[in-house]
Amino acid sequence: MTKKTTTTTLTSRPPVVVVMGHIDHGKSTLLDYIRKSNVAGGEAGGITQHLSAYVVSHKDQTGADRTITFLDTPGHEAFSGMRNRGAQAADIAILVVSAEDSVKAQTLEAWKTITEWNLPFIVAINKIDKPNANPEKVKLDLAEKGIYLEGYGGDISFAEISAKVGTGVDHLLELISILADISEFTGDPSAPAEGIVIESHLDARRGMTATLIVRNGTLTSGMHLASASALASTRMMQDFLLRPIKTVSLSDPVGIVGWSEMPEVGGVWQSFETKKEAEKYASEHALAFSAPAPFVFDHTQTAQKRIPIIIRTDTAGTADAVLTEIRKLELPNTTWKVLSCGVGVIGEADVRTAGIDPETIIIGFNTKVDPRAKEILDQSATPVSVEIFTIIYKLSDHLKEIVEARRPRIETTVVGGTLKVQRIFNRTKDRQVAGGLVASGEIAVGNTVRILRREAEIGKGTIVGLEQNKSKTKLVAEGLHCGALIEARIEIVPGDVIEAITKIIE
């Protein structure tokens, strides 16, 4: 089991930094610039395919080499769960705010997450190179929201930067190092490694893979890991550039391939010398797990229409984000019945399940359809709806379209006018001319009408002609007498009321 850390073996460790803020304020641009300029140990080519944590190096003001681990968190509000996990794993946060757009809703959401996790943070005022940049307005807007920068009533450090061209980025990295020194982040490299799972996904070729952050200790090849009931060995370890490695230590990200089951994102993990020790830990800390029963997002419990859905994504964090989007889609009388939500490709079982109910849809995000499942789809006599997305808002728009198309319609009858029948002038098989007074509203040629006798509906018909003062007309207003040629199978008599009605479907 993990041995106790003693003060005599503690050493300073690099900070783990999470970059947060509004979706369009330049978080990804900042990380891209830092990676290209400062990535430790090599080029970051094709970086979008790498792990969601990166190690960068820079020289501090004394000329000493320093390293920083950055966590990459999505900015869209649907990924708030992933951002929370990033904050849980981090030591320091960078709150990015655009010098053009200033404080936005997601800026405040990110700040709330930072304060909930009690993280020290630095504000990066980005896009100062833009023509409409106004850093002073950003500082004042932040102060109005209770975020007080140095020189503006508080002690929060800030850097004015352009992530696009690199202006101020070195100063930002220096502020991170200073804050790390003040905070005195430490660990024991001689201890068995432990840390947090920051992402997990299913690799089609290699199986279940997870990205971990080492919070304490050193992890070496040949050790065994346990995270709740999930087990893995360290035979296949990768650094953040996907290169094979044999050892990782304090604050390092590491990719571990070959888990027995998908480790829970945000969960803690422990390392052990033997598989037996790891299995014992797992049995003591196992999460009670069984295949989830279908669950329904229905806040009112009165939905008349439930749309069955199967969800497959590339990572556990993305699955959370998709479920978040579904929770937001609330319309009267309609809800979602989630049959299954998990990580991996869209498989044969998913397609067969969807085939049972033609209403079922399958949604994939950053994943694909298994070849055998595709064969079944191609051969199926009953079409199965399968859509795959790579952008969260496009997935959201698609779900909104489905809800709108399938939601139950409510039909409302609107009375546009009433005619009180006083005389019947002429009658044929299906047509009759009724004379009377328009008591309310107006009646017009083409109106659908219902015929009331003693306030009870006895039939329906259509106005096919109107006359007023022996002249044909298209419309007769309230308070005027007229003759109406009505097409109806029911025989109209004096005293009946003719209501011109319109059906409105909402």
Residues 355, 390 share a domain: yes
Q: What local confidence, expressed as pLDDT, does residue 47 receive?
A: 30
CB atoms within 10 A of CB 190: 15
Q: Check pLDDT > 70 for residue 297.
A: no
Residues 182, 206 share a domain: no
CA angle 379, 381, 386 (to 5 degrees): 75
Mean per-residue pLDDT for 483-491?
A: 93
Residues 440, 299 share a domain: no
Residues 244, 165 share a domain: no
Residues 150, 54 share a domain: yes
| Distance (Å, whole) CA 173 – CA 175 | 5
Residues 198, 178 share a domain: no
Mean per-residue pLDDT for 226-237?
A: 90
Residue 1 falls inside a structural domain: no
Q: What range defines the domain where residue 15 resides?
A: 11-186
Give tens-digit pLDDT for 62-106: 888 889 999 876 555 545 555 555 557 789 999 999 999 999 988
CA angle 146, 150, 156 (to 5 degrees): 60
Q: What's the structural domain count of the chain?
A: 4
Residue 4 falls inside a structural domain: no
CATH number of residue 232's parent domain: 2.40.30.10
Looking at 27-93, list the stretches that DSSP marks H as alpha helix, in order from N- to C-terminal side.
27-38, 80-89
Mean per-residue pLDDT for 330-344?
A: 78
Q: Check pLDDT > 80 for residue 37.
A: no
Nearest C-alpha neighbor of 66 from the set 245, 206, 201, 251: 251
Mean per-residue pLDDT for 441-448?
A: 94
CB atoms within 10 A of CB 367: 23
Question: Counting beta carbons within 10 angstroms of the beta carbon of residue 276, is it exposed (0 to 12), middle (13 to 18) or buried (19 or more)?
Answer: exposed
Residues 250, 157 share a domain: no
Q: Can you say how many angstroms the Cα of residue 347 is from the centroid of all Cα atoms in its chain?
A: 23
Least confident of 63-77, 148-162, 479-493: 63-77
Residue 336 falls inside a structural domain: yes
Q: What local confidence, expressed as pLDDT, does residue 87 receive?
A: 59
Give tens-digit pLDDT for 188-221: 999 999 998 888 877 767 788 888 999 999 999 9
Last residue of a domain, one of 186, 208, 240: 186
Residues 316, 373 share a domain: yes
Residue 169 falls inside a structural domain: yes
Percent residues over pLDDT 90 in the chain: 43
Least confident of 102-106, 126-130, 264-268, 416-420: 264-268
Residue 290 falls inside a structural domain: no
Residues 139, 116 share a domain: yes
DSSP per position, 162-206:
-TTT-TTHHHHHHHHHHHHHHHT-EE-TTSBPEEEEEEEEEETTT
State how far the alpha carbon of 80 is from the alpha carbons of 22, 42, 73, 108, 310, in Å: 11, 31, 9, 12, 22
CATH number of residue 111's parent domain: 3.40.50.300
Give tens-digit pLDDT for 3-30: 444 445 789 999 999 888 887 788 788 8
| Distance (Å, whole) CA 233 – CA 252 | 17
Residue 3 falls inside a structural domain: no
Residues 59, 167 share a domain: yes
DSSP per position, 76-92:
SGGGHHHHHHHHHH-SE
Last residue of a domain, one of 267, 285, 303: 285
- Give me the chain's average pLDDT, please: 84
Higher pLDDT, 182 or 2: 182
Residues 235, 360 share a domain: no
Q: What local confidence, expressed as pLDDT, does residue 302 receive?
A: 57
CATH number of residue 307's parent domain: 3.40.50.10050
Last residue of a domain, one of 362, 389, 406: 406
Least confident of 114-128, 140-154, 219-233, 401-415: 401-415
Residue 209 falls inside a structural domain: yes
Residue 321 falls inside a structural domain: yes
| Distance (Å, whole) CA 139 – CA 122 | 13
Q: Check pLDDT > 90 for residue 383.
A: no
Q: What local confidence, expressed as pLDDT, does residue 298 receive?
A: 54
DSSP per position, 459-505:
EEEEEEEEEETTEEESEEETT-EEEEEEEESSPP-TT-EEEEEEEEE
Residues 325, 216 share a domain: no
Q: What local confidence, expressed as pLDDT, does residue 287 receive?
A: 46
CB atoms within 10 A of CB 208: 20
